[in-house]
Structure 1
Amino acid sequence: MPSPPGGFEVPLWRSLAVFRLASLAYVCALAVRDADRYAHPYAVAVLILVMIAWTALTAVGYARPAWRRWPLLLADLGVALAVVLATPWVVGRSALAAGVPTMGVAWMAGPVLAWAVAHGRRGGTVAALLVAGADLATRERISQSSFTGVILMLLAGVVVGHVARLAATAEERLQRAVQLEAATRERERLARGIHDSVLQVLALVQRRGADLPGEAGELARLAGEQEAALRALIAGADPPPGGPPDDAGAAAVDLRDLLGRYASAAVALSAPATPVPLPRRVAGEVAAATGAALDNVGRHAGGRAWVLIEDEGTTVTVSIRDEGPGIPAGRLAEAAAQGRLGVAQSIRGRVADVGGTVRIVSAPETGTEVELTVPRSAR
């Protein structure tokens, strides 16, 4: 996978460019020294010009993250193999047998290192084996020194590939840490705003209505519960007893028990005769989304609703249907644009967080059906 712009792998690509320039200079120095021993000196000069041009092209190409892909990598390896395979003809087998170095020498390790930086240990190993195989194929007599060069090239591909993967992993961890810090700061900012507004209002409602009889007292009690839950949420603590199930436990719970608390004279609940087990977090989010949907029914559709739980094996579906006036076309998008995110966050957001989907079917004067489908296990 190519490294992102400004990543930890950038110094590796720059080092590779320096290595290729240095190895090219070494090849040129050897060519000057052994010019009178080559079988075709002019062909050697042409080959060196090709190596110079290709070194410049790869230096520019690998400097651009968008170019560090298979086309350039394969072309780079192909040029190196062509240079190595052309050695017996341009240098001459008699000169090679007399100890004259091949044309590639250290320069042919450039593609190996490029593959290692781009694709880790595996990429470096594959490229090293291909280049080493081509180098050995050009030799009439394979000695211990020939194998030493192969081993060194293979080790270089493995080690550089390992370092490149470590750099990519370190960069990913750094990005996650930066994202977490940004999320924490945003949470603290929101917490300050909520504390100065919503929590103060809820606390005031609880204090003034605690001693009132009837529905006023019940509203005050609910305001107190929501204040405690909201304080726990912005503080990062577990919700108080009686709140939604926490995320810590992975044990399965029966969804029928969680949704049973919504059953009443106005809300009919239909569920399988056998338990409907779901992970605690999944079940909690489904129950909260169902509660949000029923709250909308109470406010907009007269409060009469039917809830159906369907256990479909790998998934569980909860349907909430009412006989209200329905939702006009475009109303949900309009509400979201106005900052009223009950459906977008309390229903769609909760279900999406556990890998589920929400389907809303509604038309004027025909009621609304909200269908929540979640996988058996949390994402």
Structure 2
Amino acid sequence: MARRERVVRMSVEQPLWRALTAYRVLTMGYAVLLCVFGWRHYERHWVAVAYLAVMCVWTLATLPQVANAVSCTRRFLAADLTIALTGILLTPLADEQVRSMDGSTLPSIWTAGAVLAYAIKGGWRWAGLASSLVAVANVVERGHPTRDTLHNVLLVWVASIAIGYVVEVARASERTLARALEIEAATRERERLARDIHDSVLQVLAMVQRRGTALGGEAAELGRMAGEQEVALRTLVAGGLIRTSYVSEDESEGAVVRLVEEPEQPESASDDIDLRTLLAPRAGARVTLADPGAPVPLPAPAARELAAAVGAALDNVRVHAGAAARAWILVEDWGDEVIVTVRDDGPGIPEGRLAQAEGEGRMGVALSIRGRLRDLGGTAELISVPGQGTEVELKVPRAPRAPGEQRGKAGAK
């Protein structure tokens, strides 16, 4: 089954475009109401009616243009601002007393919508340019700058530049978050592949190296080559040469993170598997399995990952505790969580050895065990005393069972 691609879109400015759309419609209605209530003050009614008709038709017809950054083109912005400036300059023609009475212009606060579109589209620099043109038009319309005119111009200028700056900061934060998601996705994929490779290829190469060295002759050369390939493969996995996501930028949707996901398992994630059936093959002459005697159901992905972590712990016993070491697997079902403990009677782990192994790129405990449990929301605790063996406790949480359902606990053997 082919891999699936999950697309995560992040656009902090999209809500701003929706708000701008609503603002343009509301301020259009406000400008019309101002004209209706101030109808008796107009000397040339036809000028006001003609302009407001054009403004209303333009506003409603261009609603899709302010839906996102792609639709809001430079040509549209120029035309929109031109209509706003024209309305300001036509105001004295419709109402000759507006200069002396310091009244509202024909477009009123609808003009700010054109300036805000510049701010959202191009940032604070575009906003500064548009608001400056509006300021010049207002001064020309008044004939002489008044206190209220300067106050309104300054308010539009500061507000538009501030919004433009916030949009630029939001876009930068959006890109940073997208990069962080990309890094996180790549890291998780590397860890998943590292676990799988550790549980198969690396273990085989390490075994070939040890056996070849012990046999000597041509086998020793094969062992040396296997050791070199093991180091190269560890370096490849740890170096992060696997890219599982990438970031692109879509003007209409902001930053876009495309995550490549593994194909789904044939069984549904809601299907339960009895954990005992996955752990039973691990039992043998030197591995004792103690389970509750009743099914231990877990969702299929969680059960497989937990069983794989147990397998990784047993691999560590065989590799580091010696062929004569014995191991015990204890399964406990507590309803809200499942605990699996793997204990051995080997020589134990010297203090500081785990940190040293991680530094050398040996990922058995770090990824094959702890990484798997972390992805399941569980924990992995390792207790080792030199000369007294090692104990690994794996805990996986799950939803509580229905009341009355039996839960079991295996006795220690």
Specify the alignment match of 1:97 in structure 2: 100
Change (3 A) 1:112 1:22: same
* 1:35 aligned to which of 27, 33, 39: 39
Give the whole-Å Cα distance in 1 for the aligned partners of 2:10 and 2:202: 43
Counterparts of residues 233-244 of structure 1 (less than 5 Å): 233-235=236-238
Superposed CA deviations along residues 305-341 of structure 1, whole A, max 9, x for unmatched, are xxxxxxxxxxxxxxxxxxxxxxxxxxxxxxxxxxxxx
Specify the alignment match of 2:173 in structure 1: 170
Identity of aligned residues (%): 42
* 2:76 aligned to which of 47, 72, 75: 72
Specify the alignment match of 1:203 in structure 2: 206
Give the whole-Å Cα distance in 2 for the aligned partners of 1:215 and 1:122: 73
Shift of 1:229: 4.5
Shift of 1:104: 2.5
Following superposition, which runs of at least 4 residues in structure 1 exceed 6 angstroms of deviation?
none
Specify the alignment match of 1:127 in structure 2: 130
Give the whole-Å Cα distance in 1 for the aligned partners of 2:38 and 2:212: 100
Give the whole-Å Cα distance in 2 for the aligned partners of 1:76 and 1:48: 14
1:44 and 2:48 equivalent? yes
> What root-mean-square deviation, in Å, do the aligned CA atoms of Structure 1 and Structure 2 show?
2.3
Give the whole-Å Cα distance in 1 for the aligned partners of 2:98 and 2:81: 25
SS state at 1:102 partner? coil
Shift of 1:48: 1.0
1:192 and 2:195 equivalent? yes
Q: Which has the higher contact order (CA 8 A, sep 6+)?
A: 2
Residue ranges of structure 2 left out of the alignment (5+ in a row):
1-7, 241-413
Specify the alignment match of 2:17 in structure 1: 13
Counterparts of residues 338-353 of structure 1 (less than 5 Å): none
Shift of 1:236: 5.9
Shift of 1:201: 2.3
* 2:30 aligned to which of 1, 23, 26: 26
Residue ranges of structure 1 left out of the alignment (5+ in a row):
238-379
SS state at 2:70 partner? helix
Superposed CA deviations along residues 245-275 of structure 1, whole A, max 9, x for unmatched, are xxxxxxxxxxxxxxxxxxxxxxxxxxxxxxx
1:87 and 2:91 equivalent? yes
- Whether the 8 Å contact between 2:31 and 2:108 is mirrored in structure 1 is yes
SS state at 1:211 partner? helix
Specify the alignment match of 2:229 in structure 1: 226
SS state at 1:100 partner? coil
Change (3 A) 1:6 1:56: farther
Give the whole-Å Cα distance in 1 for the aligned partners of 2:46 and 2:24: 23
Change (3 A) 1:147 1:53: same
Give the whole-Å Cα distance in 2 for the aligned partners of 1:140 and 1:81: 15
Superposed CA deviations along residues 146-190 of structure 1, whole A, max 9, x for unmatched, are 111111011111111112112212221222222222212221222
TM-score norm. by structure 1 comes to 0.57
Change (3 A) 1:9 1:236: same
Give the whole-Å Cα distance in 1 for the aligned partners of 2:218 and 2:146: 96
* 1:148 aligned to which of 142, 148, 151: 151
Change (3 A) 1:95 1:147: closer
Give the whole-Å Cα distance in 1 for the aligned partners of 2:9 and 2:78: 22
Change (3 A) 1:178 1:6: closer
Structure 2: which amino acid aligns with 1:73?
Answer: L
SS state at 1:85 partner? helix
Give the whole-Å Cα distance in 1 for the aligned partners of 2:28 and 2:53: 10
SS state at 2:144 partner? coil
SS state at 1:197 partner? helix
- Whether the 8 Å contact between 1:96 and 1:102 is mirrored in structure 2 is no
- Whether the 8 Å contact between 1:58 and 1:76 is mirrored in structure 2 is no
Specify the alignment match of 2:58 in structure 1: 54
- Whether the 8 Å contact between 2:209 and 2:227 is mirrored in structure 1 is yes
Shift of 1:210: 0.9
* 1:114 aligned to which of 111, 114, 117: 117
- Whether the 8 Å contact between 2:14 and 2:68 is mirrored in structure 1 is no
Shift of 1:232: 5.1
Give the whole-Å Cα distance in 1 for the aligned partners of 2:190 and 2:98: 72
SS state at 1:141 partner? coil
Shift of 1:233: 4.7
TM-score norm. by structure 2 comes to 0.52
Structure 2: which amino acid aligns with 1:223?
Answer: A
Give the whole-Å Cα distance in 2 for the aligned partners of 1:38 and 1:141: 21
Superposed CA deviations along residues 280-307 of structure 1, whole A, max 9, x for unmatched, are xxxxxxxxxxxxxxxxxxxxxxxxxxxx
Give the whole-Å Cα distance in 2 for the aligned partners of 1:141 and 1:24: 27
- Which is helix-richer, 1 or 2? 1
Give the whole-Å Cα distance in 2 for the aligned partners of 1:5 and 1:188: 25
Count of residues in correspondence between the two structures: 233
